[in-house]
Structure 1
Amino acid sequence: MTPQRVTLITLGVTDMDRSKAFYAALGWVPHASSQPSVTFYQMHGLVLGLFGLPDLAADQGRPGARLGTGAATLAQNFEDRAAVDAAWQAALDAGAEPLKAPEEVFWGGYSGYYADPDGHVWEVAHNPFWPLAEDGSLTLPEAP
């Protein structure tokens, strides 16, 4: 049995400098252990990595494989709608591709989507049913 957790998310990128510039424009700071071929960002309890696509394919044991972005969405939850709107605008200002502007959604929250320079999809959302801790971390509430 394996533990129910994720400790590292790695995004394959086509241009490391472009990707680093995008995340820097969002205010993200690379960790000191980053290297020219891989950039790490320390997050709440996990790490986000940027890894050049050819190097990532080789690391997976599939040198020369054509890697895509897959059907995954990364999400950031915020304390209110204004913070969602601010995060959305910051991403667009940094060069993100707008996919869906923040709006009220069927499940009772407020969310929007953008893609980073490599097409990785990010959701920015406010979920009134999932309160965030003071440090911004999320623990799902107990079921009623």
Structure 2
Amino acid sequence: MTPQRVTLITLGVADLAVSRAFYAALGWRAVEEQEGVSFYQMDGMALGLFGLSDLAKDQGRAGATLGTGAITLAQNMADRAEVDAAWAQALQAGATALKAPEAVFWGGYSGYYADPDGHVWELAHNPFWQLDETGRLSIPTP
């Protein structure tokens, strides 16, 4: 049986220097940088930034045109103020605003932005899900 977990999310980027600068402006620090790739340690997993052509080659699809896909990465926050602060920081870092944070139909508060390569991030506060002191998410089970 395959474990139900994700250990690494890799984002293909057009310009690694631009992406490194964007995530640095968010306060993120790479723990490993190699030619063509950067890795950021997260709680129990990692995020990678990988040049698009190098990523296509690594996937066995050299020369392929890679897109961003239909995916949203999300950061859940402890409250609405944290969402608003993270939103402001992302825009200041150069993010493209997609939807400003607002109260949403499911009872929470969220907004969306895109990084320099169009990867979509949601910033959310979900009052029905709990975050521990490290920010680790727990979804209540019935």
Q: Shared fold (TM-score greater than 0.5)?
A: yes
- In structure 1, distance between residues paired with 2:88 and 2:35: 29
CA deviation digits over 1:49-72, x for unaligned, max 9?
000000000000000000000000
Instruction: Give the corresponding residue for 2:18.
Output: 18
Q: Show structure 2 runs of 5+ residues with no match.
A: none
Instruction: Name the Cα RMSD after superposition.
Output: 0.6
- In structure 2, distance between residues paired with 1:127 and 1:140: 10
**Secondary structure at 1:22 match in 2:** helix
CA deviation digits over 1:73-113, x for unaligned, max 9?
00000000000000000000000000000000000000000
Instruction: Give the corresponding residue for 2:126.
Output: 127
- TM-score, structure 1 as length reference: 0.97
Instruction: Give the corresponding residue for 1:83.
Output: 82
Aligned length: 142
**Secondary structure at 1:34 match in 2:** strand
1:8 alignment partner AA: L
When you count strand as a share of all residues, which structure comes out higher?
A: 2
Instruction: Give the corresponding residue for 1:5.
Output: 5
Q: Percent identity?
A: 73
Instruction: Give the corresponding residue for 2:93.
Output: 94
Q: Show structure 1 runs of 5+ residues with no match.
A: none
**Secondary structure at 1:83 match in 2:** helix
2:11 alignment partner AA: L
